[in-house]
């Protein structure tokens, strides 16, 4: 499990995107077609306390856009990132972050074996699947992921856990990344899924 | 000045920082496009910097363009040149940029396309197929072994032993027999530490359920493959538990490394093929951003350069306008030590010299004006008449004395041709006639004594003309200077007569008495001793001598009287009364002349020498009586009038008229000269003495003939000292004294 510092903040969509989009529309313009834009959804998520440690179980449904799928089939490795944050709930002030985890899986098509390889970048474990569905299913299944030690939490406070899955475009090749920044096909991210952290 | 320098410094620094930032952003952008992972995080910042750069440049250009259009419409100096320069600069920079951009994009696209080759792609595909086939053969072999083992195990009771033997024989990494629900029945593994055998994957189980063996290559993270082969173990009886055999084989060595290499090459090539369009677009995008920024910078640079170049010209235009409007104090700031700076320096030098020249001209003009004013004052006070003429003989200037001498107000006639300006004044007409005659002969410089004849008699002028300098040898006009020397001549004549009188008195009077005494002695001595006839002759002769000597004595006495200059004894008296007393003496005479008086009662007392005035009256009345001798209805009119000049100067006028024969018309000017007389008797000194006495009072006397016949003598006497001192030549005007001929 990778635990990042408390100061880490999640990246949010920036305004320059709009300005840039207008300026570069001519270069990037492509006729709209009936394409699958993809969708990431958190199907279920819950925490359970075992032996003084909160564990996360979640089901994420990854549906890749056609553009991402095409890239994957062409050999481009995609990084699926799962962002998990534990925040202390406050009434009027912004909720401070107590812990933040990033679970990253790399999905790649192995041309020789014709299999989809899912590699956990946190643990280095790797597994291959005959179908994309099986691979995405495997990547989206989070079972008993240690989240936070209960001793780090104050019993008097209320905590929330929020979770989202997204396609990390920073890890894709440069040329594609430059364009992916402007294209919706590549902006794949689920909504934040939030629930209270309780034993 | 310091603020301006600071501002310029700050502006320059800002521009430099902006340029460095922009260049860095462009470099980073190009790095990003080349897939350098470390710049991934700066991606947004880079784009933001570039977008901000574009925006700032657009705003700057828009402001400059707006200012230029406004200036152009308002015809601000230098705006047209600036517009032309901006257009030229923009064309010169943007066109090559666009050209380079177009060719760069073309080369870029072609370059990227050239990376890819159908043959290479096919070759890689074939290599992959080959690797896969090799792997398939290997997998078939392993599956076959597994299936054979499964057949063996169906009848084998010692499963564990058989598995160990099988693993050792086939080189499998792990061999496991699973029962229902994944129950591990037996396993054999090369690994020594404790572990659980890997369960069959769901894919494998699904296939086994369909009673088909399963074989699959599992790519390993560290390279190589793990081949999984799963086969069902045939049941000895239908009631037996369904068992499956799963075995793992590690593919290592050359085959594995070659397969990996081929796979990596294929994947990399596939990725490149896939990235071909994004790569093109990314580079195009980068190039476009670079072009956009470079183009906008060039356009802004064109505005900036044009502004810098035109600014001194605009200042020069403004300076020239200021100089044209007469502001010679304009000084322009020197832009730099270049040609423009030299020009501006020259301009400043020019304005400085112009200012100095203007100041000098102003001083000269002031001096000229001052001198002219002085000259005007001098000319105005001058008793000499001065007239200047244009080359076409139009009257340019004339002083007061000129008008007074010529009996005309010349100030009102300036600019008029000399001929028409002559008008009704006969004096001026004669004067103009002489001038035109002399100038028509082309004679510019001349001197002449002119005699003009007016109603008041002869007027003698000395006249000098000279040409004013003009252009091209032709005269720029003429100046005529003239003096009325009538009075001077008269005075000279008077002085001469005075001298004659004194000499006569001195030289002639002295021998007269001895002559008379001698004649009387001869008469007494010889008369008694002579015969009657001789006595008569002697008597007549001595009588004639004595009589003529008496006559000569009278004449000499009259002369001495004329030359006598006794002291004036001024007193105040009533002139009218004095006239009355004098007239009473003449009324007593029985000479048959009617004397009429018309005396002005408003006449104040006159401050004069009463004896002299009395003599004036005696002489005038006697002169009239002598003129009226033998004339029928003889009549003498005596009148007095008061004349005022200004507020305080008063003159008493005395006019004595008769209805006699009048003065001879040709000798009217000489009537006051001694020995000029039209009468059969008289010394001819009467009127001369009168004139002398009047002039001793600073008065004036004029003689004329009445229109109705007869003579008229009028004289002006100053009433007091103030009037006497004001009695300058020309005042009061001669025409104030009426002249008529009876």
Q: What is the pLDDT of residues B277-286, one digit of tens each?
A: 877 887 788 7
Q: What is the CA radius of gyration of chain B?
A: 73
Indicate the residue of A70, A75, A112 with minimum beta-carbon distance to B259: A112
Q: Which of A46-60, A93-107, A164-178, B375-389 has the lowest mean pLDDT?
A: A164-178
Residue B33's pLDDT is 56
Cβ proximity of B231 and B223 under 8 Å: no
Q: Which residues on B lie below 8 Å from A28 (Cβ)?
A: 281, 285
For B307, counting Cβ atoms within 10 Å of its Cβ (0-12 exposed, 13-18 middle, 19+ buried), the class is middle
Q: What is the mean pLDDT of residues B434-453?
A: 85
Give A-chain residues touching B268 at CB under 8 angstroms: 75
Angle at B611 between CA B610 and CA B613, to 5 degrees: 65
With CA atoms as reference, the chain B residue closest to A22 would be B51
Nearest-CA distance A116 → chain B (Å)? 10
Question: Which token pair is B602?
Answer: 């408003």
Cα torsion angle, B363, B364, B365, B366, sign: positive
Mean pLDDT of B12-32: 75
Which tokens hold the place of B291? 């072009």
Residue A135 has a pLDDT of 93
Contact B28, B39 (CB under 8 A): yes
- Rounded to the nearest 10 degrees, the angle between the axes of helix B509-527 and helix B532-563 is 160
Shortest Cα–Cα distance, B229 to chain A (Å): 14
Other Cβ atoms within 10 Å of B262 Cβ, number: 21
CA B244 vs CA B147, B187, B211, B215: distances in Å: 10, 12, 10, 13
| The pLDDT of residue B331 | 81
Per-residue pLDDT tens for B57-75? Answer: 899 899 999 998 998 898 8
Condensed to tens digits (0 to 9), the pLDDT of residues B213-269 reads 899 988 888 888 889 999 988 887 777 778 889 999 888 888 888 888 898 899 888
Look at strands B606-608 and B635-645 and give their pairing: unpaired
Which of A24, A75, A124 has the CB atom closest to B271's CB atom? Answer: A75
B218·A14 Cβ contact <8 A: no
Of A117, A124, A178, the CB nearest to B32: A178
Rounded Cα distance between B594 and B587, Å, is 8
In this prediction, residue A61 has a pLDDT band, given cuts at 50, 70 and 90, of: very high
Percent of chain B with pLDDT over 90: 7
Q: How many CA atoms lie within 13 A of A173 on its CB side?
A: 22
CA-nearest residue to B266 within chain A is: A111
pLDDT computed for residue B496 by the predictor: 82
Side-chain half-sphere CA neighbours of B647 within 13 A: 0
Q: Please provide the average confidence, as pLDDT, over all residues in chain A.
A: 80
Give the chain B residue nearest A69 (alpha carbons).
B274
Per-residue tokens: B725: 């001192």
From A75, A126, A130, residue closest to B203, measured CB to CB: A130
Q: What is the pLDDT of residue B638?
A: 92
Out of B41, B128, B268, whose CB is closest to A112? B128
Nearest to A47 by CA among A185, A183, A143, A134: A143
pLDDT of residue A56: 92
- All residues of chain B having their beta carbon less than 8 Å from the beta carbon of residue A187 are none
pLDDT digits (tens, 9 = 90+) for B472-496: 777 888 899 998 888 788 778 777 8
Residues of chain A whose C-beta is under 8 A from some C-beta in B?
A: 14, 16, 19-20, 23-24, 27-28, 70-71, 74-76, 110-115, 117, 119, 124, 126, 128-130, 134, 170-171, 173-179, 181
Look at chain A and count its residues. 199
Q: For chain B, how long is the longest CA-to-CA vector?
A: 246
CB atoms within 10 A of CB B102: 11
* Dist CA B702 CA B456 (whole Å): 8
Q: What is the DSSP string of A32-43?
A: --S----EEEEE
Distance CA B165, CA B171 (A): 10
- Residues with Cβ < 8 Å from B432, sequence gap 6 or more? B418, B419, B421, B422
Using the predicted structure, report yes or no on whether residue B738 has a pLDDT greater than 80: no
* Section A12-38 average pLDDT: 51
Please give the model's pTM, rounded to 2 decimal places.
0.53
Q: Of the ranges A176-190, B385-399, B450-464, B667-681, which one carries the lowest mean pLDDT score?
A: B667-681
Give me the pLDDT at residue B561, please: 72
Q: Which pLDDT tens digit goes with each residue over B492-517?
A: 877 787 777 777 777 777 788 888 88
Tokens of B477: 């006009």
Is a pLDDT exceeding 50 seen at residue B21?
yes
So what's the pLDDT on residue B171? Answer: 83
Q: Which residue has the higher pLDDT, A164 or B671?
A: A164
- Determine whether the interchain pair A113/B203 forms a contact, defined as Cβ–Cβ distance below 8 Å: no
pLDDT higher than 70, residue B590: no
The predicted structure's pLDDT at residue B742: 26
Stretch B664-679: mean pLDDT, rounded? 73
Whether residue B572 contacts residue B718, with contact meaning beta carbons closer than 8 Å, is answered with: no
- CA distance to partner chain B, nearest, from residue A16 (Å): 6
Beta bridge partners of B184: B178
Residue B271 or A133, more confident: A133
How far is the C-alpha of A79 from the C-alpha of A108, rounded, in Å?
Answer: 9
A24 pLDDT higher than 70: no
Confidence label for B425 from pLDDT (cuts 50, 70 and 90): low
More confident residue, B47 or A185: A185
Comparing alpha-carbon positions, the chain A residue that sits nearest to B49 is A16
Alpha helix stretches (DSSP H) within B78-170: 79-115, 118-155, 159-170
pLDDT band at A85 (very low <50, low <70, confident <90, very high): very high
Higher pLDDT, B30 or B174: B174
Partners of residue A8 on adjacent β-strands? none
Q: Determine the pLDDT at residue B741.
A: 29
């Amino acid at each position: 499990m990778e635990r990042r510092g408390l100061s880490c903040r999640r990246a949010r969509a920036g305004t320059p995107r709009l300005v840039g989009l207008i300026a570069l529309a001519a270069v990037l313009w492509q006729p709209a077609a009936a394409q699958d834009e993809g969708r990431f959804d958190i199907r279920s998520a819950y925490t359970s306390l075992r032996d003084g440690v909160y564990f996360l179980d979640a089901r994420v449904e990854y549906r890749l856009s056609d553009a991402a799928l095409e890239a994957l089939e062409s050999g481009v490795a995609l990084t699926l990132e799962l962002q998990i944050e534990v925040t202390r709930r406050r009434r009027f002030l912004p909720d401070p972050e107590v812990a933040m985890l990033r679970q990253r899986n790399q999905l790649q098509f192995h041309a020789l074996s014709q299999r989809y390889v899912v590699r956990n970048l946190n643990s280095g474990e790797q597994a291959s699947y005959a179908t994309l569905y099986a691979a995405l299913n495997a990547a989206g299944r989070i079972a008993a992921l240690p989240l936070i030690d209960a001793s780090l939490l104050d019993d008097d406070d209320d905590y929330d856990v929020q979770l989202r899955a997204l396609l990390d475009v920073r890890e894709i090749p440069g040329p594609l990344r430059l364009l992916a920044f402007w294209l919706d096909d590549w902006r794949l991210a689920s909504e934040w899924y939030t629930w209270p952290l309780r034993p | 000045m310091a603020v301006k320098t600071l501002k310029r410094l700050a502006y320059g620094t800002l521009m430099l920082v902006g340029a460095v930032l922009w260049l860095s952003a462009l470099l980073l952008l190009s790095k990003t496009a080349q897939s350098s992972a470390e710049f991934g995080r700066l991606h947004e910042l880079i784009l933001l910097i570039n977008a901000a750069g574009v925006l700032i440049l657009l705003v700057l250009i828009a402001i400059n363009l707006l200012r230029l259009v406004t200036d152009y419409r308002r015809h601000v100096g230098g705006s047209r040149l600036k517009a032309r320069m901006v257009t030229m600069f923009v064309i010169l920079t943007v066109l090559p940029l666009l050209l380079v951009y177009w060719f760069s994009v073309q080369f870029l696209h072609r370059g990227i396309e050239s990376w890819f080759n159908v043959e290479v792609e096919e070759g890689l595909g074939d290599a992959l197929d080959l690797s896969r086939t090799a792997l398939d053969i290997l997998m078939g072999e392993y599956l076959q072994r597994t299936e054979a083992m499964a057949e063996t195990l169906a009848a084998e009771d010692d499963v564990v032993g058989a598995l160990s033997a099988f693993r050792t024989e086939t080189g499998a990494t792990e061999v496991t027999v699973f029962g229902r629900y994944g129950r591990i029945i037996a396993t054999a593994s090369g690994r020594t530490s404790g572990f659980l055998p890997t369960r069959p994957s769901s894919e494998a189980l699904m296939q086994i359920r369909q009673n088909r063996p399963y074989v699959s290559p599992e790519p390993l993270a560290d390279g190589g493959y793990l081949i999984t082969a799963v086969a069902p173990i045939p049941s000895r009886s239908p009631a037996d538990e369904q068992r499956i055999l799963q075995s793992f084989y590690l593919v290592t060595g050359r085959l594995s490394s070659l397969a990996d290499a081929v796979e990596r090459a294929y994947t990399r090539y596939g990725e490149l093929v896939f990235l071909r369009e994004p790569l093109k677009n990314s580079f195009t995008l980068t190039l476009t951003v670079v072009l956009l920024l470079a183009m906008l910078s060039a356009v802004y640079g064109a505005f900036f350069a044009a502004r810098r170049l035109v600014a001194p010209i605009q200042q020069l235009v403004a300076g020239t306008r200021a100089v044209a409007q007469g502001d010679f104090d304009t000084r322009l700031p020197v832009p730099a030590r270049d040609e423009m700076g030299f020009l501006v320096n020259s301009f400043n030098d020019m304005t400085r010299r112009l200012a100095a020249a203007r100041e000098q001209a102003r001083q000269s003009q002031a001096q000229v004006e001052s001198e002219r004013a002085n000259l005007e004052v001098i000319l105005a006070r001058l008793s000499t008449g001065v007239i200047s003429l244009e080359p076409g003989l139009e009257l340019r200037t004339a002083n007061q004395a000129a008008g007074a001498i010529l009996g005309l107000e010349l100030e009102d006639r300036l600019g008029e041709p000399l001929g028409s300006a002559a008008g009704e004044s006969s004096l001026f007409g004669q004067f103009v006639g002489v001038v035109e005659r002399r100038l028509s002969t082309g004679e510019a410089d001349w001197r002449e004594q002119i005699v003009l004849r007016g109603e008041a008699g002869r007027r003698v002028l000395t006249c000098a003309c000279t040409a004013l300098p003009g252009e091209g040898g032709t005269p720029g006009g003429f100046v005529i200077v003239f003096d009325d020397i009538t009075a001077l001549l008269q005075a000279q004549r008077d002085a001469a007569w005075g001298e004659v009188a004194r000499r006569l008195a001195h030289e002639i009077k002295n021998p007269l008495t001895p002559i008379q005494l001698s004649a009387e002695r001869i008469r007494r001595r010889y008369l008694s001793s002579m015969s009657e006839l001789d006595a008569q002759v002697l008597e007549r002769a001595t009588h004639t001598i004595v009589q003529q000597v008496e006559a000569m004595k009278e004449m000499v006495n009259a002369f001495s009287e004329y030359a006598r200059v006794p002291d004036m004894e001024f007193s105040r008296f009533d002139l009218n009364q004095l006239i009355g007393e004098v007239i009473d003496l003449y009324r007593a005479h029985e000479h048959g002349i009617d004397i009429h008086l018309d005396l002005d009662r408003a006449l104040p007392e006159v401050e004069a020498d009463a004896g002299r005035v009395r003599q004036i009256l005696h002489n005038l009345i006697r002169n009239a009586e002598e003129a009226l001798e033998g004339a029928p209805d003889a009549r003498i009119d005596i009148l007095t009038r008061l004349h005022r000049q200004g507020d305080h100067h008063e003159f008493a006028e005395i006019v004595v008229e008769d209805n006699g024969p009048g003065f001879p018309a040709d000798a009217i000017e000489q009537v006051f000269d001694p020995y000029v007389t039209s009468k059969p008797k008289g010394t001819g000194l009467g009127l001369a003495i009168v004139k002398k006495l009047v002039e001793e009072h600073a008065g004036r006397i004029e003689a004329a003939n009445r229109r109705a016949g007869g003579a008229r003598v009028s004289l002006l006497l100053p009433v007091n000292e103030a009037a006497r001192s004001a009695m300058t030549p020309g005042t009061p005007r001669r025409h104030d004294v009426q002249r008529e001929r009876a």
